[in-house]
Amino acid sequence: MTRALAALFKRELRLAHRIGGGAAIGIVFFLIMVTIVPFAIGPDLNLLARIGPAVLWIAALLATLLGQDRLLQADMEDGSLDLLRLSEIPLELIVTVKCMAHWVATCLPLIFAAPLFGLMLAMDVDALAGTTLTLLAGTPALTFLGAIGAALTAAMRRGGLLSAILILPLAIPVLIFGVSASAAASGGTIPFATPLLILLGLSLAAIALAPFAAAAAIRLLGE
Amino acid sequence: MWKYANPANFLRLANALIPWTGGITALLLALGLWGAFFASPADYQQGETVRIMYIHVPAAWLSMFCYGVMTLSALGTLVWRHPLADAAQKAAAPLGAAFTFICLVTGSLWGRPMWGTWWVWDARLTSVLVLFIIYLGLIALWQTIEEPPQAARAAAILTLVGVVNLPIIKFSVDWWSTLHQPASVFRMGGPTIHPSMLWPLLVMALAFTLLFLTLHLMATRNEILRRRLRRLSIMAARGETPVPSPEIVESAR
């Protein structure tokens, strides 16, 4: 079973790499988000440094949610999702592996790019390190929550926007604690560890619970 | 419970109940509004604006109660496959959205004279806003998926996922220090509201609950009739002649 799951993981990565530019498109989207903000609010470096963590987090949230329909839709269309369902491996594990591969393909590049883009927002070293760390801790929660939305809307032709609407309210706590941890990293009244630990808890809870909801959605909607 | 799995039985029950619940709702609303606007005193600090409370607080309770009803219906759909559960769930979503909207608007109107602002981003307000967005998402999901059974399952799963928000709303005023005041009716050591203000509030809460019940029965009945109509029109399109059922004729009257 482990070998089958490893093969699935590799297949997902290969697909993400070969179709639609893979990680590059996510990073370009991220870059555009970071570029738009100074145009919208003016190039005041102090202000940019202050809202930098929030901008990086919103960009990561949107990049994750808008790319989420790729998780299941292609497999649904070409029928490979049916084959995966017929296999002996529990659907929950398949969803988990697909999410992990999706996270590696889409979120990990964003996390590597975040310090670089943070420099463009005039963030100092503490804020950069803190934001990168919180993105590393928090984006798994976004990917796994997004899997629920992707599963609910997989059968629809234009499910991407609806999926984002369904999942955004659930992603708000992740955003709150992610941004407050980033703010705590560059000086503040609360210690950095408290919001970071809550963020890790949210991620772990999402990893543990979301595959069940997503698998149930795939099973029930496929009937 | 299974007796009303038959839609005809449910329609009969709903038709019998709706005049009664509707009538009692009207009486209680009249009594509650009279109590809220004439019989109860103005607050010594807030003045007349305290009367917003008699709309705001029941609407807030109902916004959560309605989600509770939807959660039970979602369990009914997924666990027991009860055929009426998804009709009840679909009917409850717009009602919940409406009560949440009333709660947000009246809260905003009340916040302006009391806090000096229409809106603050504190935990209670934000979590209720999230509840509102979840309701809208559920309605959107219902409208996007064409096949009712599939839409029912998708909505049921999302309802169960979204239920994590309910305890956050309830306890947000205790966990975080918010501008919104903590609970003052259902709390350890009894309510902190004076009886002259408490009774109109409780009457209004009861009236809102019965209003929800009446509207929910009516909306569920409409949903059953809508599905039957859908089935009949599919049959008609195929050229089959459906047997006219007495309940449709009766309830169309």
The answer as to whether B62 is a domain residue is yes
Is the Cβ pair B78, A220 closer than 8 Å? yes
Distances B27 to A57, B32, B203, B211, B215 between C-alpha atoms, Å: 52, 9, 10, 11, 16
- Partnered with residue B43 across adjacent β-strands are B47
Q: Are B212 and B66 in contact (CB under 8 A)?
A: yes
Considering the domain boundaries, does residue B33 fall inside one? Answer: yes
- Is residue B194 a part of any domain in this protein? no
Q: Cα distance from B155 to chain A (closest Cα, Å)?
A: 9
B126 CB neighbours in chain A (<8 A) are 172
- Between helix B53-75 and helix B195-238 the angle, nearest 10°, is 40
B8, part of any domain: no
Q: Which domain holds residue B108?
A: 18-183+213-237+244-252
- The shortest CB-CB distance from B144 to any of A162, A169, A221 is to A162
Look at residue B49 and tell me if it is in a domain. yes
Looking at residue B253, its pLDDT comes to 47
Q: Is the residue at B3 inside a domain? A: no
Let me know if residue B198 belongs to a domain.
no
Number of domains making up chain B: 1
Residue A65: closest CA among A193, A199, A164: A164
Q: What is the pLDDT of residue A184?
A: 83
Instruction: Considering only residues B41 and B177, tell me which one the structure prediction assigns the higher pLDDT.
Output: B41
Output phi, psi for B145, to 5 deg.
-85, 125
Residue B190 falls in which region: left (phi positive, over 0), alpha (psi -120 to 50) or beta: left
**Domain contains B116:** yes
**CB B123, CB B247: distance < 8 Å:** no
Percent of chain A with pLDDT over 90: 19
At residue B47, φ and ψ (nearest 5 deg) are: 70, -145
ipTM of the complex: 0.76
CB-nearest partner of A166 from B126, B141, B160: B141
CB distance from B151 to chain A under 8 Å? no
Task: Express each pLDDT in B33-90 by its tens digit.
Answer: 888 888 777 777 777 778 888 889 899 999 999 999 999 999 988 888 888 888 889 9
Q: Which residues partner with B47 through β-bridges?
A: B43
Q: Min CA distance, A172 vs chain B (Å)?
A: 8
Q: Does A162 touch chain B (CB under 8 A)?
A: yes
Q: Which of A130-134, B74-78, B239-243 has the lowest mean pLDDT?
A: B239-243
- Please give the Cα distance from A138 to B126 (Å, whole number): 20
User: CB-hemisphere CA count at 13 Å for A72?
Assistant: 35
Average per-residue pLDDT in chain B? 83
